[in-house]
Amino acid sequence: MNLLKINDLKCHYLTDVDTIKAVDGISFEIKEGEILGIVGESGSGKTTVALVIMGLLPENTAISGEILYRDELISSLPEPEMNKFRWKDIAIVFQNSLEVLNPVMKVGIQAMEPMIKHLDISPEKAQSKCADLFRTVGLDPKWMDSYPHQLSGGMRQRVLLAMALSCDPKLLILDEVTSSLDAFTRKEIRDLLVDLQKNNRYTMLMISHDITFVSSVASRIAVMYSGRVVETGPVRDILVSPRHPYTRGLVHSTPDIFVYKDLWGIPGDAPAGDGFKGCPFSPRCTQKIDICSKVSPVLTPIGDGREIACHRGGIADVLVAKNLRFRY
């Protein structure tokens, strides 16, 4: 059963100089108990997707499309109604813990706040639940008495995770939760997320530019480029045989210390601003044909649970790609 379903979602930022199509007609669903990864380079619209789902966008946005949570349309709910879903149904963990946490409040008090607000429980009960949550995320409850600057980056991410879990949400959105951490701490947080998902069957939407990290946790991946989803499929298939030229570039531009692979780059930049026609990847694509610069390709099923938005149906296999000297 789908926990979350997104239909033709668009989110455009209206600025004084331009309209930025941060999310431009994307659709996907997340099944209960599943971890879906959204990957893509910086500026591809990943965080905007998370913020639209949470209803946390600034006023300079034009939003259309549907967001259904357990078949209930939540995208057009007024703020007080939407607020009931936050923390208890859907919770988010952001990346920059030093900006998210209040520097002059002890982290335990901050982690208890959503419980006191949304679960209507006493401060004593919230305190003991908070201690349990700290243990769950691998922190000694004694750290509840600390200020954010007294903890390491990894410990602060754990505090944010404890806070996000505090009201027992069904869907956890993780936005670049490990991007500022060293490789060792990243692995620890990764193991923690895998354990949480196994033991509690949390449903997760994991957002990151790091396809290698996301692949080690998620079961399915959606690849975003310039506000659109260009490829989706099971993790293993995407890693082993990426079909979209951009996905291929993304896989081969991310180093992995455990697996040897050819490292390539993707020359050029994503199109900026409004008024772009055709496939947004076409200016950087080495296998483009005429139609690519004129018509935007639609995300189309290609079998085995995979979808791709490419007029050429993607690159057929590695051998063909190498023979033709395609680098992505």
The nearer residue to ligand ATP, 108 or 271, going by C-beta atoms, is: 271
Residues from 56 through 75 that contact ligand ATP (CB under 6 A): 58, 60
Exposure b/e, 188-220, CB count within 10 A at least 16 = b: bbbebbeebbeeeebbbbbbbbbbbbbbbbbbb
Shortest reach from residue 253's CB to ligand ATP, in Å? 14
The nearer residue to ligand ATP, 26 or 163, going by C-beta atoms, is: 26
For ligand ATP, the binding residue among 30, 44, 177, 285 (CB under 6 A) is 44
Tell me the three-class secondary structure of 20-78, residue by residue: EEEEEEEEEEEECCCEEEEECCCCCCHHHHHHHHHCCCCCCEEEEEEEEECCEECCCCC
Q: What is the residue type of 283?
A: P
15 binds ligand ATP, rule: CB under 6 A: yes
Shortest reach from residue 159's CB to ligand ATP, in Å? 21
**Residue 293, Cα to own-chain centre: how many angstroms?**
28
Residues from 152 through 211 that contact ligand ATP (CB under 6 A): 209
The nearer residue to ligand ATP, 48 or 282, going by C-beta atoms, is: 48
For ligand ATP, the binding residue among 26, 30, 48, 111 (CB under 6 A) is 48
Under 8 Å between Cβ of 101 and 157: no
The nearer residue to ligand ATP, 13 or 143, going by C-beta atoms, is: 13
22 binds ligand ATP, rule: CB under 6 A: yes
273 binds ligand ATP, rule: CB under 6 A: no
221 binds ligand ATP, rule: CB under 6 A: no
| Dihedral sign for Cα atoms in the order 150, 152, 157, 159 | negative
For ligand ATP, the binding residue among 26, 30, 46, 229 (CB under 6 A) is 46
d(CA 253, CA 251): 6
By C-alpha distance, which of 28, 36, 265 is closest to 172?
36
**Binding residues for ligand ATP (CB under 6 A):** 13, 15, 20, 22, 40, 42-48, 58, 60, 209
